[in-house]
Amino acid sequence: MFDLQQYKDNVAIVTDRNESLTYNELLEEVECFASAFTQKGLVFTLCENLLGSFVGYVACMNKHIPQVLLDGSKDLELVQRLIAVYQPEYLWMPTKRIEETGGETIYQYQEYSLQKMSYEIPIANKEINSDIILCLTTSGSTGSPKLVRLSERNLESNAESIAEYLTITSEERPVTTLPMYYSYGMSVINSHLIKGATILLTDKAVMQREFWTFIKEQKATSIAGVPYTYEMLKRLRFFRMDLPYLKTMIQAGGKLNAAYVKEFVDFAEQNGKEFIVMYGQTEAAPRMSYLPFDKAVEKNASIGIAIPGGELSLVDADGNVITEPEIDGELLYKGENVCLGYAEVRADLLKGDENHGVLHTGDIAKFDADGYFYITGRMKRFVKVWGNRTNLDAVEQLVKVITSNCACCGVDDLITVFVTEDGLEEQIKALLVEKTGFNPRAFQVKRIDGIPVKTSGKIDYPTLQEML
């Protein structure tokens, strides 16, 4: 997957703990890690943005050892549930957590340990399709056993496409603003390692002073974020910061309000930087589209065009291809990066390619006369208000004109708007009534202390749904 020998003298990684490895040193650690394995098998990697986690991830990728990336901060119950379903032969995990699993420690590196597992009643057939190199949890899963099955070609082709449209070179120094187990965070690592760049690894959040100290000292050239990240950056007065080396800002992981996109695009234009909006899903390893920066002002609400080697299209409710602009339909993507399928039990890891390069995204979109695509909603993010099918994402975007700290959930005939500020109820209701034509009784506004977000930075809608 990664040609570490090609860039042997380049620095591969620098951490906020003053650790660093050249590509040649990383190659040596990969060989040490792989030599500890006494049998083939599946690895659960409990990820944290730490050097040990990073080395284990790269080693498994380069030695074609199938692994599942998991949130290293997940509680024991959730991890044990997944272990029971998949019975991995090994765990690569923070040493501080090894007492939780009862495995045998066979290798250690930095703050990580490799645990060899055994089971009282082992699964009879644990064979794994040789094409599978990585499995990721499905978007929004919280301990769900559903995994996305990815091949080396899926990941390699996507990393190559990303590197092409972002013009990544060995001079780049991206900072890890996202968790390694999150497909978007993983793709930042992949697309830079294949070009011999230097990963700046930190587990600090953008709200922490240490993050900004690290980014300035190490002269980070790019930053990646989800909508929440950029909303926080604006609150931190990012536009006033002195960051001369930061040249690229990329955004994915959900729809950022178009007004915010325009602000960041304007800032980028005025300061010799680029702001690139992208769209993807874990099932596509994960990028599917990007908005070229020269179209960023004109098309600031768009997800752009398909990545190099990919193809976007729309189909209507009957599965017919939509050929006219400005008509909503389900977004389909075709490309080598489309996953093989899903797994819900260990036996599913033996399955072959079930998607054949085509992904039904579940997103509703349209395209304009120039062929640029726009997400208008999520098929599952709809409720019916007195018989009218209503897009909760679109309602949320309306409210963001008044406050960025909001989120919408709902049941049929009642949409709930969660906000973090007092005194906005009448203003929000009046706006929504004006824009939708619904009776005010279709909406309620609830003030909460904070909009819950997942570790990936995405809004935690299931938690909000429970608060209705």
Q: What is the DSSP string of 195-219?
A: TT--EEE----TTSHHHHHHHHHTT
225 within 8 A of 231, measured Cβ to Cβ = no
Specify the CATH superfamily of domain 382-466.
ANL, C-terminal domain (3.30.300.30)
User: What is the per-residue burial (b if ≥16 Cβ within 10 Å, else e) of 151-176?
Assistant: beebbbbbbbbbbebbebeeebbbbb
The CATH classification of domain 1-380, taken from the options 3.40.50.12780, 2.40.50.140, 3.40.630.30, 3.40.710.10: 3.40.50.12780
Q: Phi, psi at residue 371, to the nearest 5°? A: 85, 15
User: What is the b/e burial string over 110-120, where b = at least 16 CB atoms within 10 angstroms of the residue's CB?
Assistant: bebbbbbbeee
Would you tell me how many other CB atoms lie within 10 Å of the CB of residue 417? 26
How many C-beta neighbours within 10 Å does residue 390 have? 21
pTM of the prediction?
0.86
List of residues 6+ apart from 256 with CB closer than 8 A: 227, 230, 231, 277
Say how far apart CA 141 and CA 147 lie, in whole Å.
9
Q: Which residues of 67-84 are buried (b: 16+ CB within 10 A; e: fewer)?
A: bbbbbbebeeeebeebbe
Which residues are registered as beta bridge partners of 263?
A: none
Three-state DSSP at 106 gives: strand
Domain ranges of the chain: 1-380, 382-466
Region of residue 114 (left: phi > 0; alpha: psi -120 to 50; beta: else): beta
DSSP class of residue 351 equals: -
Token reading at 84: 């029971």
Helix axes 152-165, 183-193, angle to 10 degrees: 70
In angstroms, what CA-CA distances link 129 with 126, 149, 150, 305?
Answer: 10, 10, 11, 33
> Residue type at 33?
F
Which amino acid does the sequence have at 464? L
- Angle (deg, nearest 10), helices 51-62 and 23-35: 70
* 263 Cβ contact list (under 8 Å, min separation 6): 234, 239
Give the C-alpha separation, 164 to 306, whole Å. Answer: 13
For 183, residues 6+ apart whose C-beta sits below 8 A from its C-beta are: 136, 280, 281, 282, 285, 286
Helix, coil or strand: residue 157: helix
Each of the 468 residues of the chain gets a pLDDT tens digit; together they read: 999 999 999 999 999 999 999 999 999 999 999 999 999 999 999 999 999 999 999 999 999 999 999 989 877 777 888 999 999 999 999 999 999 888 999 999 999 999 999 999 999 999 999 999 999 987 544 457 899 999 999 999 999 999 999 999 999 999 999 999 999 999 999 999 999 999 999 999 999 999 999 999 999 999 999 888 998 999 999 999 999 999 999 999 878 888 899 999 999 999 999 999 999 999 999 999 999 999 998 998 899 999 999 999 999 988 999 999 999 999 999 999 999 999 999 999 999 999 999 999 988 999 999 999 998 877 778 787 876 768 898 899 899 999 999 999 998 889 999 999 999 999 999 999 988 888 899 999 999 999 999 888 889 998 999 898
